[in-house]
Amino acid sequence: MAFRIPFRRAFATAARSSLKIGLVPADGIGTEVIPAARTAIEALGSDIPKPQFVDLLAGFELFTRSGTALPEETIDALKESDCALFGAVSSPTRRVAGYSSPIVQLRKELDLFANIRPVLSVAPNPLDKPDVDLVVVRENTECLYIKQETLTHTEHGREARATRLITERASGRIGRMAFDIALTRPRKQVTIIHKSNVLSVTDGLFRETVRAIPRQDAPKYDDVTIAEQIVDSAVYRLFREPQIYDVIVAPNLYGDILSCVTFLRNIQ
């Protein structure tokens, strides 16, 4: 469950009287957690603008009933909302003709390019500082998630291919998002995650683009320290010593995996 529409519009002014929130339970556990989240928001009372909830449909279960996973009505309503809560999507592991993940489509429709995932551990002693306080900044529109795949038949059997897209534009804006977040934090460190030792063109472009940002925007980011890590090493270190990280920025697939790693590590 996550807020999927940026808060900039939602909280542009403290004087606003209401907050329009789209609720998309979608599938599975989403139908349980979204009503609970609504109750929690309502319990905030006057601490936030009065919420106006809009119930919306999406998901694989909807697709099986109607043939549509993401209705145009849902997209239009979310464009008019200040923010949104999206539950869970039960995307099948097998290929289903005509089906595409609604959350991936929403990211494209609304240009939700930054998936910001903070991770904060709870210290056993309330007086102690948490040993893990990091943010994963995941690029949300490119990489393998553009879903350009082909399946062909050759003399040796079936052959599947997937296109991976990394652009300077997307890498630059997610990199700036990571640096901007780092400026708000005490440690002010950004770690770039890549696999450019193997994928020298695609991951190489991501790495080079993000590393160039402090030079392009000097002196804005002069206080931010840059580090980098090969993705497989980063997974290992997130389990062994996650406290070394501050802000992590990664392409879509790596960011997805690393977010899950940090979550699993912190519920052990």
What digits encode the pLDDT tens for the residues 72-122?
999 999 999 999 999 998 888 888 888 988 988 898 889 999 999 999 887
* pLDDT (tens digit per residue) in 169-201: 999 999 999 999 999 999 999 999 999 999 999
Q: What is the pLDDT of residue 147?
A: 86
Task: Measure the CA–CA gap between 268 and 243, rounded to whole angstroms.
Answer: 15
The residues, any chain, with a CB within 8 Å of residue 235's CB and separated by 6 or more, are 257, 258, 261
Any idea which residue has 């494209």 for tokens? Answer: 108
Q: What is the pLDDT of residue 93?
A: 82
Query: What DSSP assignment string belongs to 51-99?
Result: EEEEE---SHHHHHHHS-SS-HHHHHHHHTSSEEEEEE----SS--TT-
* Structure confidence at residue 247 as a pLDDT band (50, 70, 90): very high
**Overall pTM > 0.85:** no
The residues, any chain, with a CB within 8 Å of residue 266's CB and separated by 6 or more, are 119, 121, 132, 242
Task: Measure the CA–CA gap between 67 and 169, rounded to whole angstroms.
Answer: 34
Q: What is the pLDDT of residue 2?
A: 42
Cα 266–247–163 angle (5° rounding)?
Answer: 95
| Angle of the 202-216 helix axis to the 168-183 helix axis, nearest 10 | 50
Q: What is the pLDDT of residue 121?
A: 83
Q: What is the pLDDT of residue 263?
A: 66
